[in-house]
Structure 1
Amino acid sequence: MAAARQELAGGRPVTVESAAAAAGISRTTAYRYFANHRDLIAAAHPQIDVESLLPDPAPADPAERLSLVLRVFIHDVTLAWEPQLRAALQLALAPPREAVAADAGTLRQGRGIRWILEALEPLADTHPGLDLPLLARAIRSAAGIEALIWLTDVGGLSRARAAEVMRASAMSVLRDATERGVWP
């Protein structure tokens, strides 16, 4: 797994064979642990077991809560694990013959949406007209690996500037929703 992560971090495509070579082990040994490319990428994927990105005690203000969650989600998850998240996204977008639909959840677990939903919880009382799961998805779309890829690869921004834009975009979605009381 460490060799696969190094290969991905170096911008190199990773296979079971290339990870085995980088780790200095035989292909046969590697295939005992990882039957295929998908298994290797799943093992190299970040294992983030935290249920919450909010501090204890968490602030009551939804904007402050979301800002705290975004800081961790963008910097400590998306930017820190960018190579692994790119590889997982590539597998998730692969044609069905290469990606088994049942395995898609292994790599794309929806943690970001759960963390954002937790940040938005106070809105259930103050803004009952908001569809919080939809709002969380909209915010997540502005702040995850997909947004980072577009902003850096297509938009030409630096990773640091892309992080600023993702955070500002996500906070703008929240502001718009709370000001209008409905979203979208």
Structure 2
Amino acid sequence: MTAEPTRPPRPSARERTRRLLNEAARELLRTGGPLTVQAAADLAGVSRATAYRYFPNNDSVLVHATMPLTDGAGPALPPPDPGPPDDHSPQGLAGQASTLVRTMGEWAFDHENELRTFMRLSLGPPGAAKLDRRASTNRDTWIATLLDGLPDHVPQQARDRLSIALTPLFGADAVIWSTDIAGVDHDTALDVMAWMAAALVQATLNESA
């Protein structure tokens, strides 16, 4: 006889409540809602007293909103993986930069509410819980990977300058300057950001040729 597959243990009532509250905190972050114990309790469908057993204060709601779920579903704001570049030559590097920035820009506009919330919380008053906006997009990792494709003769000073110049083309920074300040629509913003990335990389290559 074939043994029946072992069923995973059912989560306890406490684990289910914790998951409901964590998901509620993440949803509040996604929609730009108030990250408070009361708001999380209302959204999760539990009493405020119950919510306080898991979230002792409003700051803890923020912490849980940005933590991975217990089932390994990933971080609250998982950026996409653009994948390995198709062209590893210096001549193709500008195109890689353009594609990367456009991909990340599309993702940023799809997650505009969350990114604006990250921006607001990262600029909170002294003593308040704050978020590291750089961690929400992995921009440092992708910029570093892009710079690894530069020829060896490009000096470190030029690499550092290019890294800084590419930084505002990612995440909340890109969303805010393009829509709030420049006042352009998303398609135009993506075209401009992709062009800027390619131009910055090409200028660095030309200067160091």
Same fold (TM over 0.5): yes
What is the CA-CA distance between 1:155 and the residue it aligns to? 2.9
Greater shift in the superposed pair: 87-96 or 10-19:
10-19
Instruction: Confirm or deny: 8 A CA contact 1:3 1:23 kept in the other structure.
Output: yes
Paired position in structure 2 for 1:138: 165
Counterparts in 2 of 1:125 and 1:89: CA distance versus 1, 3 Å: same
What is the CA-CA distance between 1:2 and the residue it aligns to? 3.6
Match of 1:75 among 97, 106, 126: 106
Corresponding residue pairs, total? 175
**Aligned-CA RMSD value:** 3.0
Instruction: Confirm or deny: 8 A CA contact 2:98 2:195 kept in the other structure.
Output: no
Instruction: Confirm or deny: 8 A CA contact 1:148 1:163 kept in the other structure.
Output: no
Paired position in structure 2 for 1:89: 119
Greater shift in the superposed pair: 137-146 or 34-43:
34-43
Q: What SS does structure 2 have at the residue aligned with 1:131? A: helix
Instruction: Confirm or deny: 8 A CA contact 2:41 2:48 kept in the other structure.
Output: yes
Q: What SS does structure 1 have at the residue aligned with 2:152? A: helix
**TM-score of the superposed pair, with normalisation by structure 1:** 0.74
Paired position in structure 2 for 1:121: 148
What is the CA-CA distance between 1:99 and the residue it aligns to? 3.5
Paired position in structure 2 for 1:18: 39
Paired position in structure 1 for 2:134: 108
What is the CA-CA distance between 1:139 and the residue it aligns to? 0.5
What is the CA-CA distance between 1:170 and the residue it aligns to? 2.6
What is the CA-CA distance between 1:145 and the residue it aligns to? 1.0
Structure possessing the higher radius of gyration over alpha carbons: 2
Counterparts in 2 of 1:129 and 1:93: CA distance versus 1, 3 Å: same
User: Within 1, Cα distance between the matches of 2:31 and 2:79?
Assistant: 25
**TM-score of the superposed pair, with normalisation by structure 2:** 0.67
The alignment-based identity, stated in percent, is: 31
